[in-house]
Structure 1
Amino acid sequence: MKIIIDSDASPVKGIVIQEAKKRGLDVILVASFAHFSNKVHPSHVETVYVDSEKEAADYKIMQLAQRSDVLITQDYGLASMALLKGVTVLHHKGFQYDQYNIERLLESRYLSAQMRKSGKRTKGPKPFTQADAQTFQTLLIEVLDLATKNPSQPQ
């Protein structure tokens, strides 16, 4: 089991790295070269850089992800593909994607895109807060504890 982070815009990398270290889990940060960083991470963290082309990170993540893994992403399309692969997928705002909410989220994304195409304005995401970070950390701990106690069971 490993944790993969769609890391270009993820505000929870530090939380994930910290919780993974406590459990001896590896973390893979997937980022585009446009977000290159010289930051040195602990030995259990690997950074994989991909082209800055649209969807390049998604393709790499899907190549790396396996059934027992956990993925952190805010990309609904990537989340839907990973769910089909049996990956546990979390959003940094502290909710877990599942077969029930992903369809609604994808539909909402589609409708917002249609509105923008027709010239209407839509609201962007709300700012990430400390409360969001705490909610995410609580969910991550729950998911990791369950997975490490029951490694053969997808979440």
Structure 2
Amino acid sequence: MPSDLTVYVDADACPVKAEVYRVAERYGLKVYLVANDIMSVPRDQPNVELVVVSDRFDAADDWIAERAGPAAIVVTNDVPLASRCVKAGAYALAPNGRVFSPDSVGMSLAVRNLMQDLRASGEVTGGPPPFSKKDRSAFLSALDLAVTRLRRQIRTQG
């Protein structure tokens, strides 16, 4: 059953591409993997398309943000991209299952900017914790919930 929903994946460092493929196949979703370089995509899933953009800074983010809207799910760890997409009406989701909502994305952006400033001044070293099985499971649940909610919303509005 084809869906009007589209999933955009900020794909260069995305650890949950296989999970996106599984959910997309189950629901008949179109998926765009947006990256700065060529990567493999499943040959048996014609609904998954690789979009290779230039290596210009934020080229992938710009491509996704220009297309994100109310019938889109954006998978990204990039908080500024998530903010742009949420403002456009899209559902933005981090690979660990965290949802970027209109209420939370502003705080996420502020924390991200603060941490960037602290790292630049040498105050903070290290990065985020390693990606875990729990993160992967939380992402699958969050993506499934997002698809269900957005499909219901599209049916109600249409």
Q: State whether TM-score is above 0.5.
A: yes
- Return the alpha-carbon distance in structure 1 between the equivalents of residues 73 and 22 of structure 2: 15
Note closer, same or farther for the CA distance 1:94–1:40 as it changes in structure 2 (3 Å cut).
Answer: closer
Normalised by the length of structure 1, the TM-score is 0.90
Taking structure 1 as reference, are residues 23 and 111 closer, same or farther at Cα in structure 2, changes over 3 Å only? same
**Match in the other structure for 1:103:** 106
Find the counterpart in structure 1 of residue 143 from structure 2.
140
**1:94 to 2:88 alignment:** no
Segment drifting more, 132-141 vs 64-73: 64-73
Q: Which residue number corresponds to residue 121 of structure 2? A: 118
Aligned-residue identity in percent:
30
Query: In structure 2, what is the equivalent of residue 28 of structure 1?
Result: 32
- 1:1-150 to structure 2, matched below 5 A, reads 1-33=5-37, 36-41=38-43, 42-150=45-153
Q: What 5-or-longer segments of structure 2 have no aligned partner?
A: none
1:26-83 deviation line (CA, Å, top 9, x unaligned) = 10000002xx224444111000001112111011111222321110000000000101
The answer (yes or no) to whether the contact 1:29–1:46 under 8 Å persists in 2 is yes
Q: TM-score, normalised by structure 2?
A: 0.89
RMSD: 1.7
Q: What letter is aligned with 1:99?
A: P
Judging changes above 3 Å, is the alpha-carbon distance between structure 1 residues 52 and 22 closer, same or farther for their aligned structure 2 residues? same
1:150 match: secondary structure: helix
